[in-house]
């Protein structure tokens, strides 16, 4: 489930105000242009012989997968 709202500070939310919704046309890591620039820079600086990735935290990272399996019943 993607994050739909981007306003988490207001005391009251007007769901008719289009400014409270995030742009679902871009991934969560691309919402902030500065952050996206840092991801792209890291991607471009990755050596050619290494696996390149844009977003480092993803459900397929080994640590997350191992943590998930440790909590499963045998």
12 falls within a domain? no
> Nearest 5 degrees, angle CA 7-CA 9-CA 58?
55
Q: Is 36 within the bounds of a domain?
A: yes
Total tally of structural domains belonging to the chain: 1
> Could you tell me how far CA 49 lies from the centroid of its own chain?
25
Q: Is 18 helix (H, G, I), strand (E, B) or coil?
A: helix
Q: For residue 48, give its domain range.
A: 18-70
pLDDT recorded at residue 58: 57
Choose between 55 and 70: higher pLDDT.
Answer: 70
Predicted confidence (pLDDT) per residue in 1-17, tens digit? 457 888 888 899 899 99
Half-sphere exposure of 74 (CA within 13 A, CB side): 0
Q: Is residue 42 one of the residues assigned to a domain? A: yes
49 found inside a domain: yes
Residue 28 belongs to a domain: yes
Q: Which helix (H) or strand (E) holds 34?
A: helix 33-45
Question: pLDDT by residue (tens digit) across 16-65?
Answer: 999 889 888 888 778 888 988 998 999 999 998 988 888 776 566 777 77
């Amino acid at each position: 489930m993607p994050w739909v709202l981007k306003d988490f500070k207001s005391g009251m939310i007007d769901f008719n105000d289009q400014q409270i919704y995030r742009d679902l046309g871009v991934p969560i890591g691309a919402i902030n242009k500065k952050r996206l620039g840092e991801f792209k820079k890291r991607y471009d600086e990755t050596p050619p012989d290494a696996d390149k990735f844009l977003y480092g935290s993803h459900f397929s990272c080994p640590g997350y997968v191992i943590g998930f399996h440790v909590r499963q019943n045998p």
